[in-house]
Amino acid sequence: MYPIPDTIISSRPSFRMRLQPWQAMAVRIACGSPLKAALVLGTAGGMFPAQAERYFDQSALESNVPGQGAVDLSHFSAGKQSPGTYRVEVFLNREPVDTRSVVFVQEDNRLMPTLSVADLLSMGVNVQAFPPLAALTPAAPVTNLGKYIPEADSSFDFNHQRLDISIPQAALKFQARNTVEPSQWDQGLPAFLMNYNASGSDTRQRDSEGDASSAYLNLETGLNLGAWRLRNNSVYSHSRNSVKRNDENGERQTLTSTRQGWESISTYAQRDIQRLRGQFTLGEAMTQGDVFDGVRFRGVQLASDDNMLPDSLRGFAPVVRGIARSNAQVTVRQNGYIIYQTYVSPGAFALQDLFPTSSSGDLTVTVRESDGSESTFVQPFSAVPVMQREGHWRYAVTGGEYRTNVPGARTPLFLQSSLIYGFSNTLTLYGGTRLAGDYQSALAGVGQGMGRFGSLSLDVTQAKTTLRNDRSHRGQSYRMQYAKDVFQSGTTFTLAGYRYSTEGFYDFQEANEIDATDVNNWRQRYARRSKVQLQVNQSMSEYGNLYFSAYQQGYWQLSGRERTLNVGYNVNVSGISYGLNYSETRSPLSRDNRQVAFSVQVPLSRWMNNAWASYSIQNDNGGKTRQQVGLNGTALEDNNLNYAISQSHNNQGEDNAGSASATYKGRAAQWSAGYSYTRASQQVNYGIQGGVLAHPYGVTLAQSIGGAVALVRAPGAGDVRVQNQTGVYTDSRGYAVVPYVTTYRKNRVALDTGTLGDRVDLDGAMQTVVPTAGAVVLADFKTQVGARALITLNYRGKVVPFGATASLVSGGQPLTGIVGDGGSVYLAGVPENGKLQVAWGPAPDQRCRAEFTLPAGSPAPVVSLATTCR
């Protein structure tokens, strides 16, 4: 018997498949030569491609059993494959489009894909431009593309299971890069979902003078029905404090106070309006904050959702225009890096789908003509957050009741609207109104790109306010925003805003909350006068990073200003991280607070994997100094255990303190626990957070659920790891929840086949899902659950010839295998009993059917048995 290596290298570039010992043994048993092994591995569904020529001589593989004749392998010769359904990666003009099952038919001596007119529409084909195509129904099959679209063609690479479709650019509608057609957006399954976050603590005084405990529970529940999302966010809190004191008679007493209660934070129903690229919300939510400051409301809202746009159209980027003399290549560079490249026809062109790589930075555009000549020009641009691409707009309309948790504040009905529109590469106009019974305001503004000098936006708000004393006030608020990135020096400079308001100006929140009964909050008693915010970040490459941020706000009729200042420097030297930080806070009604801190973090990889030792020291303007040493890191195979230990030392009589904590992220929840102490007290805290998803297939526990999730369904494949997800494994039934997926984008959900059980195989380990906002989308994996068997087939006293096809026709899932030398066929996912249909030619005496029953309780990874084919 010829040796078969445990590792088989295929003709696919950079692909290597390592066989398990039992798999290599099965191949050695089934095949008597390397060529036969290559055929078995290379034709069993394309699972094991191997190096081989595309042509082989059939006569070399004739049956060695007298009376059985030659084996019919014509469909394998010259590289041909049988027509049928294959799961392939689909590429359009060399760009990946989808991974799906495609029916292939034999035509013009090769395999051609069967695509529907609807499939072509989803790929962006301009069907209406071709009358023969336009005359077909959406479900009509199309095989030979060249018959309908001149110069269109397809190519099927069987070894790589890749379908390449080539369609001339003129036959395609304009689509921005990474566009996902709305027809592919998945509203998901009907489902009930719940996030829970529970935590608590117990504190004990060492001198038995008192104790305290607290508990907190946050529930985020939801119901998905079609495109509708119903959501509620509620909180329960409980606290208890006990203090021992002497009463007026000198007797010791324990005084206990308890507070507890439920509070519903928000309840709303929401669905997307795809034609308007927006979200419709009914209930309690928050207004958009791009024109006006966001406020909470109870009512209705329709607002644009940029998540529905492809990545290449989100954010601000200019339209690049130019003229090409021929079929030319256009390359766009920013700071020396190519960020875009495409091909254009002769004449004027406009590139509308550049990625928003940064908020500014000159673009260098090179046009390379077909004769090799080049022309270059520079288009400078920069943007502040309000700026939009040319021809793009954002909108929001909200009506309802103002919501606040400030006691005594007014809650009027109001109507708010806003609109932002990009008129050109450098000009954006925006505006909006807020209307209520005692408050009316209007805003108008402009954003202007100034090339290498950055970008600037200016707006003015006019407001009329009637306060509770029935006095009317009129005023204006002026706001400026500026942004500039200087990549050559590594500097990001953002003047996030300067605002000045006249004495008679009140914003909507102030108008409703000034003179409220919450006298402890001075910000609610005074109107804002001016505000400035500055952010600077300077990268110095290997010499570290310097950052600076400052915020200052002044109030009418109040001396002094509210101020926050933060400046710091971070650097990494030989793997050791150092940090220096200074912060300052100031309030008109309290003393200044200034702190300086230094920290260092040292990796301990030589002794402990994924562990770091740390030291920090900080000092404030009161002379208090605190030093702390610590150890933190991650552990376990999936790094799903985080731990931290620290000890601190304080001066000026302050208690020293120590703490230890750990967080474990499992498949069904995240658990945390901690312990801390001082000289006077000790505390234990604990918590758990996770999710519950009820769906048409049952109930699945999960980690905390995000906005949109994917439900993995792999029946019978328990305890299989989901790739790129920490701690996410399928449960005993084969279900798991991927807690975060990106809305309106293609998300890859893959299972780690290395964690499959001995009795489970997958028909494809990767699925692609495209969820809408809040959807629960299904990643449905086809599993083959059963034994791995090596079945020897006998026919009329002889073994079935090599190369015959054996297919499972009853007793389980569809399975097909190629019979090897000695009449043996290897199958995975085999049921306890079933029937096989065997064929090695078209004649009636070249077909038979075999029944089998696996031996009970066999511990072998591959079960061996023999059966007779009749």
pLDDT digits (tens, 9 = 90+) for 642-670: 898 988 888 876 778 888 989 998 888 88
**Are the C-beta atoms of 101 and 89 separated by less than 8 Å?**
no
More confident residue, 387 or 576: 576
* Residue 30 pLDDT: 45
At 144, is the pLDDT very low, low, confident or very high (cuts 50, 70, 90)?
confident
Residue 689 CA to residue 708 CA, distance in Å, equals 18
pTM comes to 0.72
From 85-89, 186-190, 266-270, the region with the lowest mean pLDDT: 85-89
Residue 372 CA to residue 363 CA, distance in Å, equals 21
* Residue 336 pLDDT: 55
Residue found under tokens 């600037």: 456
Percent of the chain's residues with pLDDT above 70? 79
At 174, is the pLDDT very low, low, confident or very high (cuts 50, 70, 90)?
low
DSSP 424-480: SSSEEEEEEEEEETTEEEEEEEEEEE-GGG-EEEEEEEEEEEE-TTS-EEEEEEEEE
Identify which of 32-36, 286-290, 767-771 has the greatest average pLDDT: 767-771
Residue 153 CA to residue 146 CA, distance in Å, equals 6
Residue 452 CA to residue 5 CA, distance in Å, equals 62
* Residue 531 pLDDT: 83
At 721, is the pLDDT very low, low, confident or very high (cuts 50, 70, 90)?
very high
More confident residue, 128 or 436: 436
Percent of the chain's residues with pLDDT above 90? 23
Mean pLDDT score, 329-354: 64
From 290-294, 479-483, 488-492, 593-597, the region with the lowest mean pLDDT: 488-492
Domains of the chain, with CATH numbers? Answer: 7-82+786-868 (2.60.40.2070), 84-184 (3.10.20.410), 185-224+245-255+624-784 (2.60.40.2610), 319-379 (2.60.40.3110)
Q: Give one word for 73, left, alpha or beta, with left for phi > 0 and alpha for psi -120 to 50.
A: alpha
Is residue 264's pLDDT more than 90?
Answer: no
**Are the C-beta atoms of 756 and 799 separated by less than 8 Å?**
no
Mean pLDDT score, 336-348: 60
pLDDT in tens, 344-385: 655 556 676 565 554 545 567 788 776 667 777 666 555 566
Residue 754 CA to residue 762 CA, distance in Å, equals 11
Residues with Cβ < 8 Å from 274, sequence gap 6 or more?
182, 185, 308
The pair of structure tokens assigned to 179 is 């566009």
Is residue 777's pLDDT more than 60?
Answer: yes
* Residue 349 pLDDT: 65
Q: To the nearest 10°, the Cα dihedral for 468, 469, 470, 473?
A: -90
* Residue 484 pLDDT: 74
Identify which of 197-201, 245-249, 398-402 has the greatest average pLDDT: 398-402
Query: Would you give the DSSP letter of residue 639?
Result: S
Mean pLDDT score, 768-779: 93
- What integer best gives the mean pLDDT of the chain? 80
* Residue 252 pLDDT: 72
pLDDT in tens, 28-79: 444 444 444 444 444 443 333 333 344 444 444 455 444 555 555 555 544 4
